[in-house]
Chain A
Amino acid sequence: DVVMTQSPLSLPVTLGQPASISCRSSQSLVYSDGRTFLHWFQQRPGQSPRRLIYQVSNRDSGVPDRFSGSGSGTDFTLKISRVEAEDVGVYYCMQGTHWPQTFGQGTRLEIK
């Protein structure tokens, strides 16, 4: 299985400051058709996961534009330009290029 490694695992951030989460895969996530199936999810405390970004950099409907995704191959990043209180929770990357789909361990974002 493809191993997804996130860093850091814990991310204390001051309100209004930027935040960045890294996700690395054990194999390239470029599919045979050229697409890259790397996605980012947010799970707020006590809630279901919600996808924020799909295929590296496409924001899902309703996701604030302070969230952005980038990267290629095996190296990917989720950035939050200015952290707000509602951003507290755990963030997961997920790859859907190789069977089976696999997730990173999660990064817990908290407010300093």
Chain B
Amino acid sequence: KQEVTQIPAALSVPEGENLVLNCSFTDSAIYNLQWFRQDPGKGLTSLLLIQSSQREQTSGRLNASLDKSSGRSTLYIAASQPGDSATYLCAVWTGTASKLTFGTGTRLQVTL
């Protein structure tokens, strides 16, 4: 059974810092990994999708990497801003299970 873990569960950083969020998964037979952002009381916004054949994806200040063999992904946020404060979720699509498995998220707070 696929299990997805996100560390840390919560993180507080001052504005302007670069930061890394971690995601690990137990079954490397994945089709893709997707990072989402969720604001309090809101839905999920897709940030980046990495296919299993890719090593990284970039969008603006965000960069996500994937090491399928070791079961790890990182989300790098450059020059953090207070508007980045949210919960970040990673999810993997496991082919054998035909479903998406989520981690429990990292709650990020960027302070002024």
State whether these chains interact.
no
Q: Chain B interface (Cβ within 8 Å of chain A)?
A: none
Q: Which residues of A contact B (CB under 8 A)?
A: none
